[in-house]
Amino acid sequence: MGRVISFINPSKGVGKTATCVNLAATLAARGKRVLAVDSAPNARATAWLGVRDVQRSVYDILAEDEDAEACFCRTASGVELLPADTRLSDAEQALIYRRDRESALKQTLGGMRGAFDFILIDCPSSVGLLTVNALTASDGYIVPVCAERFEEDSLALLVNTAMLVRRHLNKDLRMEGALLTMYDMRAAAARHASNEAEHAFGKCVYATVIPRSTRLAESSEGGMPATLYDAKCLGARAYETFCEEFLRRSERGD
């Protein structure tokens, strides 16, 4: 059965979408069957995976009861995608009237686990119903932490939300790890963020760090993961290393 992992952080600009997209592409390149689910209204993961003309999206699944398979998009990286569009901004209002509003996405993904090794969900930069749906559907979650700033209040909100979901909606939810992104080893802020992350998350902090990379940022504009855009750039190589660490942890059940 495929594992479902959410990427969450209420703060913007922390590398959440970059981590979801590039891990998905790196796993697919290693022969894993990967589904990416874009549940963010800004649809950045959808665009980063090269999908521009979205006919049906996660909105249609959550708000219109559309069959998920009708929404699938195949991407150049080999990742299957359930795309997003701007209508997701209205999804939370639509979900309020559903009896299963916290578990709608879980019901959708439940029947797909056998078809994929990993299902990766890019969450919005908020802790509303879309994020709650993602956590309710997930086995675990990864927290990208920007090494240029450690936003304690946002991370405390995240941890509290995850705790409430685990208590009331998904008792098996667990934290997979925290990943430092936009890391510059020369900067005092990066060292401070690393220390704060270790204090907050302990052994859950990944050994891999993702450096700030111009080519990684460019790959987003180019509509392809960094490993396809420039496999030799620092960002792409860092995500290859992260993928290895992620798989080792998954195999050990850490």
The domains of the chain are located at: 3-252
Q: Where are the alpha helices (DSSP H) in the chain?
A: 16-29, 44-48, 58-64, 91-95, 104-110, 129-137, 152-168, 188-201, 214-221, 226-229, 234-252
Q: What is the pLDDT of residues 113-136, one digit of tens each?
A: 999 999 999 999 988 999 999 999
Report how far Cα 126 is from the mean position of its chain's Cα atoms.
13
The rounded distance, in Å, linking the Cα atoms of 130 and 205 is: 25
Q: How confident is the model at residue 254 (pLDDT cuts 50, 70, 90)?
A: low
CATH match for 3-252 among 3.40.1080.10, 3.40.50.300, 3.40.47.40, 1.10.1740.10: 3.40.50.300
Mean pLDDT of 162-183: 96
Q: What percent of the chain has pLDDT over 90?
A: 71
Mean pLDDT of 152-159: 88
Q: How confident is the model at residue 184 (pLDDT cuts 50, 70, 90)?
A: confident
Q: Which of 138-142, 185-189, 245-249 has the lowest mean pLDDT?
A: 185-189
Give the pLDDT confidence score for residue 187 in this predicted structure. 81
Mean pLDDT of 136-158: 91
For 71, the token pair is 């929404």
Give the pLDDT confidence score for residue 186 in this predicted structure. 79
Q: Is the pLDDT of residue 205 over 90?
A: yes
Q: What is the pLDDT of residues 1-51, one digit of tens each?
A: 799 999 999 999 899 999 999 999 999 999 999 999 999 999 999 999 999
Mean pLDDT of 53-59: 92
Average pLDDT in the chain: 92
